[in-house]
Chains A and B, each alone.
Chain A
Amino acid sequence: MELLTDLMSNFWIALVLKLLVVALIIPLIGMVIGFAEMKLSAKMQARVGPYFAGGRWGWAQLIADGVKFFQKEDLIPRDADRPVFKVAPIVVMAGTVALFVVIPWGPGVIFRDLDIGIFYALAISSLTTVGVLMAGWASGNKYSLIGGLRAAGQLIAYELPLVFSAVAVVIMAGTMSMQGIVEAQVSAGYPFVLLQLVGFVVFMIAALAELSRIPFDLPIAESELVMGYLTEYSGFRFLFFFLAEFANMFSMSAIAVTLFLGGWHLPGIPADVLEFAGPLILIGKSFLLVFAMIWFRWTFPRVRQDQLQSLAWKWLIPISLANVILTGVFKVVL
């Protein structure tokens, strides 16, 4: 512990350690969520799911899939815009990794507590969609292009409810720093979801749309667009889009937990235990939300493009704006 604090005081050594940690946890999270998605989907459909790989429960299924992707031929379609086609997964992964900078894991445990934490998180999370649009354009495939454009349309519709429901939390906390928001909830004694239930619901709907998970998975929509923007990708480039999706599911949930559900704090746990239990609490809460996302996948049918747009513009944006104003009134008047 002593040694670790010594090492972390040097900025450059700390930076390298942080990069190593994040390079390890992103694939790990991807595998856990990927496996959870397979098993839970199977349970909800009364199937068995992965069964043979690794013996019991088919726990090695994701590892086997990873090895399989290593052996896949790297195909680039003839009509593709080659440089853009190759850069697209890089943009997606860069956005995904950069989002992890501001996730507060525990008291004082954060890769970097930026002053503009939540603002940065919302901004960098839309970088993934730029990568998706690039992938859709560069594939030289009609369906990919439509998928990419749908992703862009979805981003602009659901970015606003996401931002405005976060603004309401910023008003309550009085800071944009992610650790500051958690500490505001600790000192208030309650998670903000109690007063921001509307904001939380809007945030989760918008987050689902940003992640293009069912019921908002129009950019992929297998029954309409083959596989959307992913159609022409194979091997590791394909895998990285999936890894980014799973990692983003986690980081979006972690941000929702930080904003609304009290982050790494659980009432009744003493401060010295929280030092170690903080990350576990945050991960536990986040995985609950991830579970809900997988659950929704087998509960709701896919919305139509016009329903998607009118839900955002006619309902979510006015509701979240009213929520901001109401929160402001409460904060100033009371």
Chain B
Amino acid sequence: MSTYFESYLTVGAFVALGAVLVLVMLGVAAVLRPSKPKMTKAEIYECGVDPVGTGWSQTYVRYFVFGLLFLIFDVEAVFVFPWAIAAEELGMFGLIAIILFTLTLVEGLVYAAKKGVLQWE
């Protein structure tokens, strides 16, 4: 078996362990805990008063523009990592390339800031 496959099998096993831990503990607890369902117990908790309206309500997600900005920078981060490992071998050429690449993206951030996207009203 290749080391590559072994590595990701380990990761997969650890992820599965997380799920198994939760399920086993809930299973054990299911034997011990009482179960007396009641309408009031299934009510949504809003500090004791009767809940207003339905559970899902409309809310203004102010930071969705940040989501767009994030997408751009996150992709950049993925591109920076390969350079970061080989920074020494790539030398001056790699450094100038990455500086230009970063500046192009920073320009986007500056543009967004100037447009007032980062300001909260």
Pairwise interchain contact B22-A93, C-beta atoms closer than 8 A: yes
Q: Counting CB contacts under 8 A, is A56 at the interface?
A: no
* Chain B 39-62 interface mask (CB, 8 Å, partner A; 1/0): 101111111000101111101011
Pairwise interchain contact A145-B56, C-beta atoms closer than 8 A: yes
**B94: A residues at CB distance < 8 A:** 332
Q: Is the interface of B mostly helix, strand, loop or mixed?
A: helix
Interface size on A, residues (CB 8 A): 78
Query: Which chain A residues (317-334) contact chain B, with CB distance < 8 Å?
Result: 317-318, 321, 324-325, 328-329, 331-332
Q: Counting CB contacts under 8 A, is A156 at the interface?
A: yes
| From B59, B81, B88, residue with most partner A Cβ within 10 Å | B81
Q: A93-B22, A94-B18 are in contact. Are A328 and B113 (CB under 8 A)?
A: no
Pairwise interchain contact A15-B81, C-beta atoms closer than 8 A: no
Q: A96-B18, A146-B59 are in contact. Are A153 and B85 (CB under 8 A)?
A: no
Q: A139-B44, A309-B63 are in contact. List 16 more A-B contacts (CB 8 A).
A: A19-B14, A26-B21, A74-B29, A97-B18, A145-B56, A167-B84, A170-B84, A170-B85, A174-B86, A226-B46, A236-B25, A305-B62, A309-B120, A313-B118, A317-B73, A318-B106
12 A-B residue contacts at CB 8 Å?
A15-B10, A19-B17, A77-B43, A141-B44, A142-B57, A143-B46, A156-B67, A159-B74, A167-B77, A313-B109, A317-B109, A328-B87
- B residues contacting A by CB (< 8 A) are 1, 6-7, 9-11, 13-19, 21-23, 25-26, 28-30, 32-36, 39, 41-47, 51, 53-57, 59, 61-63, 66-67, 69-70, 73-74, 77, 80-81, 83-88, 91-92, 94-95, 98-99, 102, 106, 109, 113, 118-120
- A residues contacting B by CB (< 8 A) are 11, 15, 18-19, 22-23, 26, 69-80, 89-90, 93-98, 100-101, 111-112, 114-115, 119-120, 139-143, 145-146, 149, 153, 156-157, 159-160, 163-164, 167, 170-171, 174-176, 226, 231-232, 235-237, 240, 305-306, 309-310, 313-314, 317-318, 321, 324-325, 328-329, 331-332
